[in-house]
Amino acid sequence: MDNQQQPLRLGLIGFGCVGQGFYDIIRQQPELGLTVARIAVKSPDKPRSLPAEHFTYHADELLNDLTLDVLVEVIDDAAEAFRLVSAALRQGRRVATANKAMLARHLPELVQLEQQHGGTLLYEAAVCGSIPVVRTLDAYFSHEPLRAVRGIFNGSSNYVLTRMSEEGSDYATALAEAQALGFAETDPTLDMGAFDPRSKAVILAAHAYGIFLNPDEVLNLGIEAVGAADIAHAAARGQKVKVVASVQRLPNGRVAALVTPQLLGPESPLFAVEHEFNGVVVEGEYAGPQFLAGRGAGGHPTGSAVLADVLALRRGLRYGYAKRTTAPAVQPAEELELDIYLRHADVGALREVLTWLELPATALRTDVHGVYATGAVPLLRLAQWRDELRANGVFVARRGEVRAGEAVAESRLAAGAVA
């Protein structure tokens, strides 16, 4: 057996959907030379597919077991995940994690720990399930300027929108179905509120542009208030509603990031991404647009990404973060603007929302489904009113891409001239 195939003893922290999927894949491929030697879980009372003697209920035991070659962290507690992963890196250990919320909050610290103590951290499974987008950005596009990385990063919300579009389901029915199939959590806030794809956009920004974003400073608007009228409005124009995460270089060289519902036409490759699938468009300066698609949720698809990381750790692969030394500046939110569509069933409430967003009364429009509004809104104002928009059941979607700098000034002047 050559050095590439030396057996590895794995410590698995977490045995939920992803942990079980990963374990199942390992069991079916003994030729890989991987052994899940120890499994740590939180609760001794939860029913599991393996006998109780397979588990320990203290994850620190795995940290203290130096016979384990690789630690695999797949729990849903971001704070505990950070404690365990950071402790492992301080030991100089090799670690694979799937915890996108933890990474989005702590990636700069984790990279520093990796460099200081000689450990290795890989996390392909944290972004877009089975799609190898992290490694693609970090390796293949490590030295090519990118115009944009955008995509559908959350299979749960995409499933709901697909069911509403294809079957005419209402939001509550489509969400309940997604939950029953295991695509959405009992508390769907992270998925439907676009917090989950925001974390993934933050992670990809580090590899696409070399920048470490604060997730709290990235606008995220969800689909909790989407209704049949919004789906029909888009369909009447040959469009679909999709939740699109975008990290893009602006004409002035700076970078902007946001996650919102967007009205997309068939000219976009994301238009045809349905159900629990994810899709990513990487637009290179020289290579042009590249499109990757695959399952973004589920134990086996995400477990396959965990497996890819474990095998890469055996080969000694590390992320390079090659663009950190030339990272561009982030465009201030107050200098960004979006063209938006918004709707609320109550016309009076919609008029009040226009005042929040500083849109004129002339922004109101009417179609066969009722009253809606369109207009150009500063991104900062949407961020300031995000929670109120969500709490009051206002659906907001963008039309087109974000604008900045002179384009914003010209747009405001044009809007003033029209008014």
DSSP 208-245: HTS----GGGSEE--STT--HHHHHHHHHTT-EEEEEE
DSSP SS3 for 194: coil
Side chain identity at 150, as an amino acid letter? R
Tell me, what's the pLDDT at 1? 39
Contact call for residues 241 and 398 (beta carbons, < 8 A): no
- What's the count of helices (H) and strands (E) in the chain, helices before strands? 15, 17
Contact call for residues 323 and 209 (beta carbons, < 8 A): yes
Tell me, what's the pLDDT at 407? 55
Average pLDDT over every residue of 329-356: 96
Average pLDDT over every residue of 52-75: 96
Answer yes or no: is pLDDT of 226 > 60. yes
Average pLDDT over every residue of 402-408: 72
Q: Domains along the chain? A: 3-126 (3.40.50.720), 133-295+321-326 (3.30.360.10), 333-418 (3.30.70)
What's 330's DSSP letter? B
Q: From CA 235, how far away is CA 331, in angstroms rounded?
A: 33
pLDDT category of residue 2 using cuts at 50, 70 and 90: very low
Answer yes or no: is pLDDT of 319 > 80. yes
Contact call for residues 205 and 211 (beta carbons, < 8 A): yes
Cα angle value 266/376/360 (rounded, 5°): 130
Average pLDDT over every residue of 180-209: 93
Tell me, what's the pLDDT at 356? 96
Helices (H), 59-170: 60-64, 78-90, 100-117, 133-135, 155-167
Tokens standing for residue 139:
């390796």
DSSP SS3 for 30: helix
pLDDT category of residue 296 using cuts at 50, 70 and 90: confident
| pTM listed for this prediction | 0.94
Supply the residues annotated as catalytic. 200
Average pLDDT over every residue of 27-32: 96
